[in-house]
């Protein structure tokens, strides 16, 4: 939209709003309204004809391509899956050679059909789709003219409403008289422009409808015969299909049941086909709980609590065991007499693995050991000469 058109749209916006609310003067022409309704139907039906023709052309090609892909998928199912591909002698003939050969023959038939139907589909493109597109271009040009007529109607109604507002004033002023004269001229000009476009549309739209009927009727007839030719070619070629694997003389359901045999019962007999994820999860949880209960029962039968000192599998040492190297907390230095074994009594237990009445569990709290406190005089010469706090036995070696 140009800047001038944008300005006109802003000026026409109030009148367009009032017209939608049926306020003020609205110019109506019953003859043109009927022609406008028929023109809208013509526009929608022509678009539908063009879209449906394109869709039919595309659907036939996609159907044939789908048949080719379907035959390839069936062939992959028929191929054997056992043995090593690098060793032809190890392959087990588990496939269906007759079915694989039928798939290859069916693909040849479909490819032949694609080549046979290609001229007919191109004929639909040239005889139906392209004329419909040309008719749509003509309709779009006429639609612009109808929009122009609608704009002229808005201008006429806008000027008439403005003129009637000044004419209905009780006490008109000289300035109002000038505006009345101005808007009378604008109404006259708008009336002439509106009448020109309105009469042109009312005169030429019926001619368009007549020409459209003469054009669309042959299009529908041509499309009908083209589709009939496509369907006849498909049906006759499929009926003449000479593939021994398919028995087209029997009923399709009876032939399917005959080929299927007892495959369904044999497949249902396989346990893996009845596997359910929810049942497997609940069964796994029940097994885990039963295993934990068995572990707890075995631990209670040996007389030791899990993790107690002296129990099987315990990795700790009893409090005060020989070899403990604990030091008193807060020690800031070392002395030769500081390294010594703490005096503590080791509790005695029954023999390892003895069964019977379990003894009370020993107190696992660490016994309070006597801490040896060493007092070091910080004012001695040795302290002043040893600012790094090196132990005396290490000073001797240094």
Residues 329-368 have pLDDT tens digits of 444 444 444 344 444 444 444 444 444 445 555 555 555 5
pLDDT single digits (tens) 52-100: 888 998 999 999 999 999 999 988 888 766 555 555 565 555 667 888 8
121 pLDDT more than 70 = yes
The whole-angstrom separation of Cα 155 and Cα 142 is: 20
At residue 280, the pLDDT reads 60
Alpha-carbon distance of 211 to 218, in angstroms, equals: 12
**Average pLDDT for residues 195-201, to the nearest whole number?**
90
pTM: 0.52
Residue 23, C-beta contacts closer than 8 angstroms, at least 6 positions apart = none
What is the predicted pLDDT for the residue at 12?
A: 63
Quote the pLDDT of residue 96: 77
Predicted confidence band of residue 309 (pLDDT cuts 50, 70, 90): very low
| Pair 249, 117: CB distance under 8 Å | no
Helix residue ranges per DSSP H, the chain = 3-20, 30-78, 97-124, 130-167, 174-239, 252-260, 263-268, 277-301, 381-385, 392-397
Q: What is the pLDDT of residue 63?
A: 92
Please report where in the chains the tokens 């020989």 appear, as a residue: 322
Locate 38 and state its tokens.
């028929």
Averaged pLDDT for residues 125-137: 89
In the chain, the percentage of residues whose pLDDT exceeds 70 is 63
Contact 116, 64 (CB under 8 A): no
Cβ burial of 181 (10 Å; 0-12, 13-18, 19+) is exposed
- CATH number for 14-263 (one of 1.20.1270.60, 3.30.43.10, 3.40.50.11030, 1.20.1730.10): it is 1.20.1270.60
Of 184-198, 272-286, 305-319, the one with minimum mean pLDDT is 305-319
Q: How far apart are the first and last CA of the chain?
A: 100
Confidence of residue 5 (pLDDT cuts 50, 70, 90): low
pLDDT at 165: 79
Contacts of residues 102-108 at CB distance under 8 Å and 24 or more positions apart, as own/partner, are 102/243, 102/244, 102/245, 102/246, 103/71, 103/72, 103/74, 103/75, 103/78, 104/71, 104/75, 105/243, 105/245, 106/67, 106/71, 106/241, 106/243, 107/68, 107/71, 107/72
CA pair distance 108, 61, nearest whole angstrom: 16
pLDDT band at 264 (very low <50, low <70, confident <90, very high): confident
Please give the structure tokens belonging to residue 20: 């939608």
**Mean pLDDT, range 317-323, rounded to an integer:** 42
- 367: DSSP letter: P
Q: What are the structural domain ranges in the chain?
A: 14-263
With contact defined as beta carbons under 8 Å apart, do 80 and 96 qualify?
no
Report pLDDT for 69.
93
**What integer pLDDT is reported at residue 277 of this predicted model?**
60
DSSP letter at 148?
H
- Predicted confidence at residue 347, as pLDDT, reads 46
Q: What's residue 312's pLDDT?
A: 46
Q: How far apart are CA 343 and CA 367, in angstroms?
A: 10
Please give the pLDDT value at position 91: 54
Question: Is 112's pLDDT higher than 80?
Answer: yes
Give mean pLDDT, residues 371-392.
51
- What is the spatial distance between Cα 105 and Cα 241, in angstroms, rounded to a whole number? 9
pLDDT at 111: 92
pLDDT for position 313: 45
pLDDT of residue 4 exceeding 80 = no
Task: For residue 130, give Cα distances in angstroms to 39, 47, 88, 312.
Answer: 20, 12, 56, 92
CA distance 275 to 281: 11
pLDDT value for 65: 92
Burial call 196-234: b when 16+ CB within 10 Å, e when fewer: ebbeebbeebeebeeebeeebeebeeebeebeeebeeeb
Rounded to an integer, the average pLDDT of 226-234 is: 91
> Residues with Cβ < 8 Å from 120, sequence gap 6 or more?
226, 229, 230, 233
Cα–Cα dist 391/336, whole Å: 8
Tell me: pLDDT of 230 over 50: yes
pLDDT surpasses 80 at 233:
yes
């Amino acid at each position: 939209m140009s800047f001038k058109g944008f300005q006109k749209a802003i000026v026409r916006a109030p009148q367009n709003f009032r017209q939608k609310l049926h306020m003020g003067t609205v110019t109506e022409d019953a003859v043109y309204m009927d022609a406008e309704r028929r023109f809208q139907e013509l526009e929608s039906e022509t678009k539908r004809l063009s879209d449906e023709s394109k869709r039919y052309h595309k659907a036939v090609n996609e159907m044939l391509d789908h048949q080719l892909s379907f035959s390839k998928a069936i062939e992959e199912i028929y191929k054997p899956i056992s043995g090593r591909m690098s060793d032809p002698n190890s392959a087990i003939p588990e496939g269906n050679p007759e079915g694989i050969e039928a798939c290859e023959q069916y693909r040849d038939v479909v490819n032949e059909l694609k080549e046979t139907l290609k001229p007919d589909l191109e004929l639909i493109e040239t005889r139906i789709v392209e004329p419909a597109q040309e008719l749509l271009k003509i309709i779009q040009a006429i639609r612009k003219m109808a929009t122009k007529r609608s704009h002229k109607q808005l201008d006429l109604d806008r000027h008439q409403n403005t003129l009637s507002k000044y004419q209905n004033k009780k006490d008109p002023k000289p300035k109002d008289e000038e505006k009345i004269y101005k808007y009378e001229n604008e109404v006259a000009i708008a009336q002439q422009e509106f009448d020109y476009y309105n009469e042109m549309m009312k005169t030429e739209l019926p001619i368009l409808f007549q020409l459209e009927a003469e054009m669309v009727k042959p299009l529908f007839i041509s499309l009908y015969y083209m589709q009939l030719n496509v369907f006849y070619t498909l049906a006759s070629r499929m009926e003449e299909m000479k593939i021994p694997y398919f028995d087209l003389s029997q009923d399709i359901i009876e032939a399917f049941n005959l080929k299927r045999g007892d495959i369904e019962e044999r497949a249902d007999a396989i346990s893996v086909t009845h596997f359910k994820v929810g049942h497997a999860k609940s069964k796994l949880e029940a097994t885990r709980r039963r295993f934990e209960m068995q572990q707890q029962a075995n631990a209670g039968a040996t007389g030791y609590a899990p993790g107690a000192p002296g129990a099987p599998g315990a990795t700790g040492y009893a409090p005060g065991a020989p070899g403990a190297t604990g030091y008193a907390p807060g020690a800031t230095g070392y002395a030769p007499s500081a390294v010594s074994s703490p005096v503590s009594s080791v509790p005695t237990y029954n023999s390892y693995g003895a069964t019977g009445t379990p003894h009370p569990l020993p107190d696992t709290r660490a016994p309070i050991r006597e801490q040896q406190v060493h007092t070091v005089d910080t004012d001695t010469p040795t302290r002043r000469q040893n600012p790094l706090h090196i132990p005396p036995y290490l000073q001797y070696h240094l």
